[in-house]
Amino acid sequence: MDMVNISEPALVFVLFALCFLTSCQGNGEISKTAPVITDTIPYDAIETSHDYLMGRFDPAIRPEFVKIDTMHADRAGLYLRKDTYVAYKKMAAAAAKDGVQFIIRSATRNFDYQKGIWERKWTGKTKLEGNEDATTMANYRERALAILRYSSMPGTSRHHWGTDIDLNSFSNDYFSEGQGKKEYDWLLANAARFGFCQPYTAKGPDRPDGYEEEKWHWSFYPVSLVLTRAASEKLNDEMIDGFSGSTSATEIDVLQKYILGINQSCVLQD
């Protein structure tokens, strides 16, 4: 089992805290509120093996994972890392005091789960947005890119790590008005205090590649930062295989454009 190689874990924590005190809010604005301190995270104990990074494990039998109570999820049987779940519950409690309710729609998804999502879209059993059928695209690269607008290739999803959650709705439109906008605005203003950032913001000069915007997707930064760095060092496109259409991974440059193509407020800059 590989563990993250951080020779100065205390420095990492200090830099993380400073980031939250300055510019790590999802909307890029400076946070004026000190972060909520959660349980100490043992950085040197975060596994970064290839199997972990690529979701080749069962979260139900791993000691660092816990089942999410149904009061926080839309169905039973969802899992998160314990550190992520502790931080989420604190965030949800704070939001509730402000009249905002969150429910987890998706959490940890291992390789096999993600493979099911991917291959149902690949074979046309699940339609893409706009009721588009992926099988109408004979070119594998084109078909993969269409699916990659919102779904990860197995072995590349941040949901493998147990640090990422989808909240309330899978529609950006929902978060653009009414109650959904209130929820999203609350997250932009407060999520960083609890260690969460939005990895897939609107594309632009700072994020030209990767998935389309996902206002529902939030990542527990203290741990996902370590895993993002590990992925950049240990994974490559040739490792992404074992599912339909995997041969397109190298053509697309999945590691750089998708695994690492995230909102820069989720990446600690040197």
Total count of domains within the chain: 1
Specify whether the CB–CB gap between 108 and 160 falls below 8 A.
yes
- What's the number of CA atoms in the CB half-sphere (13 Å) around residue 145? 12
Within a domain: 199 = yes
Within a domain: 150 = yes
Tens-place pLDDT, residues 147-206: 999 999 999 999 999 999 999 999 999 999 999 999 999 999 999 999 999 999 999 999
Handedness of CA 79, 152, 171, 137 (dihedral sign): negative
Within a domain: 54 = yes
Q: What is the mean pLDDT of each run of 10 residues along the chain (270 residues)?
A: 50 43 40 48 82 98 97 98 96 98 98 98 95 95 97 98 98 97 98 96 94 97 94 97 97 97 78
Q: In terms of residue numbers, what domain contains 230? A: 9-266
Within a domain: 174 = yes
Within a domain: 4 = no
DSSP code of 74?
S
pTM assigned to the model: 0.87
Biggest distance spanned by C-alpha atoms of the chain: 52
Within a domain: 3 = no
Provide the CATH number for the domain around residue 76: 3.30.1380.10
Q: How far apart are CA 3 and CA 43, in angstroms?
A: 9
Burial pattern 110-149, b for ≥16 Cβ within 10 A else e, equals bbebbbebbbebbeeebebeeeeebeebeeeeebbebbbe
Within a domain: 1 = no
Within a domain: 151 = yes
